[in-house]
A and B are shown apart, each in its own frame.
Chain A
């Protein structure tokens, strides 16, 4: 049992890498997704096609391949682009290119969620806003966005949990710098040493499960706040769904 707790502590620094990867990609992925969702809904055919194609490509291919592809692509641009700009060490660093690919990936999934929510915003409310003479930015801020985020929040919570799960494959595809190892690499190296798959993988799994629960809890609090106008506020349960 002591051994178990010692190992839980041993895994803690590794968990920080997974948390970092997720935390670094959530904000930008969120913003990018809003633009993509609006783009997909846009009346401009070029913008709509581009957003649609982007979302389709990134949802339709494995993240694992995306990691390999973008790393080798960035590498092949190194001498002609990154080196002259002096940002070579930075661009190809897993702590940069990891979140970058995760942002590209999660924004596609999130955009699909937001787009669905956007289309579910009650028509009547938008028409009412127009009748009041609101400009489009006003309509968006006052009517569309509050509705959209409330509708999308449970699904978005799911996406964040799966994004966190997706950080498990970062170091299977990217080089490892020094001792910067995440939960999966740490568990894999320990298993390769003593074959105790049950112990090492379980501890890594516990961390993933625990962080998933924390995400559900925190996002649930936000959801409560988003829904504070409702007479009985709906609760969110821990139930990762098949949205990804």
Chain B
């Protein structure tokens, strides 16, 4: 019995498992960075949508509706590649000579000198930006709605105090909007968490890739412990992990909403 426990303990703490546990950092980083960027893009998008100038309004609307009309995974694969190519293209215009371009045999990049090597950190940042862009479109909608929910009287009062348009927007409308935006943003956050499961599609050795590698059946003693197909067990762990993260996030957001709503409830009592 104790031998069994010792065996499982050492199996579950071998380097391969430790790498798996460590890879949770990629998922958490992508979620947090993606979440922050989604709010930033959401604020930009909502401000554009609220703009007095038609072209800006159109850009905001176009961004939020087109991105939401396409699967997140498509954008998730497209954006890092497109961004890499755009950088390499601009770079190529600076460093590539015609001879270098002629010598290039592959379809891309334009010349060898203009090659941007993508490794895990770069992919992780690009993945976070993609998540931010995709879910920023959803956040745009949420924040746009919330900005409109801010009582008109408050904005008028701010204007009456002589605040400029920018000041009204930044000091009053955006500050007051959070309370209305929080339920929607909590929903967007849940979407981002779930989308972090896609990291392995960008060659990041994330929790999903390691679950596959650890669970795949092994027949060769030279490779490690010989075992059958254990994949579903490892995926079950991830399944439970994500549910727990959702649960914790929900609790966090509820606490946040109670806090943010304190002043508002008082207002109702007057």
Chains A and B share a contact (CB less than 8 Å): yes
CB of A145 closer than 8 Å to a CB of B: no
Q: Does A222 contact B (CB under 8 A)?
A: no
B71→A168 contact, CB < 8 A: yes
Does A188 touch B at the CB level, under 8 Å? yes
Measured between beta carbons, the chain A residues less than 8 angstroms from B65 are 238-240
Against B, the Cβ 8 Å flags (1 = close, 0 = not) of A50-87 are 00000011011111111011001101100000000000
In the bound complex, do residue A65 and residue B235 qualify as a contact, i.e. CB atoms below 8 Å apart?
yes
Interface core residue of B70, B138, B141 (most chain A CB under 10 Å): B70
Residues of A within 8 A of B108 (CB): 195
Please, how many angstroms separate the alpha-carbon atoms of A184 and B239 in the complex?
24
Q: Is the Cβ of B69 less than 8 Å from the Cβ of A212?
A: yes
Q: Once the chains bind, are A62 and B212 in contact (CB under 8 Å)?
A: no
Stretch at the interface among A6-14, A34-42, A89-97, A201-209: A201-209
Q: Is A166 on the interface with B (CB-CB < 8 A)?
A: yes
Smallest CB separation, B233 vs chain A (Å): 9
Identity of the chain A residue whose Cβ is nearest the Cβ of B106 in the assembled complex: A195
A208 near B70 with CB under 8 A, answer: yes
Asked whether A197 is an interface residue with its Cβ less than 8 Å from the other chain, the reply is: yes
The residues of B that contact A209 with a CB separation of less than 8 Å are 66, 69-70
Shortest B270–chain A CB gap in Å is: 29
Q: Is the CB of B194 within 8 A of A166?
A: no
Q: Which residues of B contact A57 (CB under 8 A)?
A: 239, 243
Size of the chain A interface, CB-CB below 8 angstroms: 43
Verify if B113 is at the interface (C-beta below 8 Å from A): no
Residues of B within 8 A of A239 (CB): 65, 68, 141
| Bound CA–CA A201/B243 (angstroms) | 31
- Determine the distance from Cα of A239 to Cα of B66 in the docked complex, in whole angstroms: 10
**How does the 8 Å CB contact mask read for B218-245 relative to A, with 1 for contact and 0 for none?**
0000000000110110011011001100
**Chain A residue nearest to B109 in the complex (CB):** A195
Contacts of A4 in B (CB 8 A): none
Alpha-carbon separation in the docked complex, A102 to B241 (Å)? 20
- Select which of B66, B69, B81, B229 is within 8 A of A72 by beta carbon: B229
Q: How far is the CA of A73 from the CA of B77 in the complex (A)?
A: 28
Partner of A197, one of B81, B141, B231: B81
Q: Which residues of A contact B70 (CB under 8 A)?
A: 165, 205, 208-209
> For residue B193, which residue of chain A has the nearest CB?
A62
Chain A residues closer than 8 Å to B117, beta-carbon distance = none
Option from A69, A195, A208, A212 in Cβ contact (under 8 Å) with B85: A195
A-B contact count (CB 8 A): 119
The verdict on A136 contacting chain B, using a C-beta distance below 8 Å, is no
Nearest residue, chain A, Cβ from B197: A62
Tell yes or no: B195 within 8 A of A by CB.
yes
Q: How far is the CA of A165 from the CA of B85 in the complex (A)?
A: 26
Q: Which residues of A contact B232 (CB under 8 A)?
A: 69, 72-73, 75-76
Chain B residue numbers with a CB within 8 Å of A68 are 208, 211-212, 231, 235
**Known contacts A68-B212, A204-B74, A242-B191; is-contact A61 B66 (Cβ 8 Å):** no
Contact bitstring A145-176, B, C-beta under 8 A = 1, else 0? 00000000000000000000110110010000
A241 interface contact, C-beta 8 A: yes
Instruction: Give a binary string over A217-244; 1 marks a CB under 8 Å from any B CB, 0 the rest.
Output: 0000000000000000000001111111
Known interface pairs A61-B243, A62-B194, A194-B107; A238-B69 also in contact (CB < 8 Å): yes
Contacts known (A75-B229, A242-B191); A64 close to B198, Cβ less than 8 A: yes
Known A64-B208, A65-B235, A195-B85: A172·B201 in contact at CB below 8 Å: yes
Nearest-CB distance from A184 to chain B (Å)? 7
The 8 Å CB contact of B236, one of A64, A69, A172, is A69
CA distance A219 to B238 in the complex (A): 35
Q: Is B73 an interface residue (CB 8 A)?
A: yes
A191 interface residue, CB < 8 Å from B? yes
A-B contact pairs, 20 of them (CB 8 A): A57-B243, A60-B243, A61-B243, A62-B242, A64-B197, A68-B212, A72-B232, A75-B232, A168-B71, A169-B71, A195-B108, A197-B85, A201-B74, A205-B70, A208-B70, A208-B71, A208-B74, A238-B65, A239-B141, A242-B138
Please report B residues at the A interface, Cβ cutoff 8 Å: 65-66, 68-74, 77-78, 81-82, 85, 107-108, 138, 141-142, 184, 187-188, 190-191, 194-198, 201, 208, 211-212, 215, 228-229, 231-232, 235-236, 238-239, 242-243, 246-247
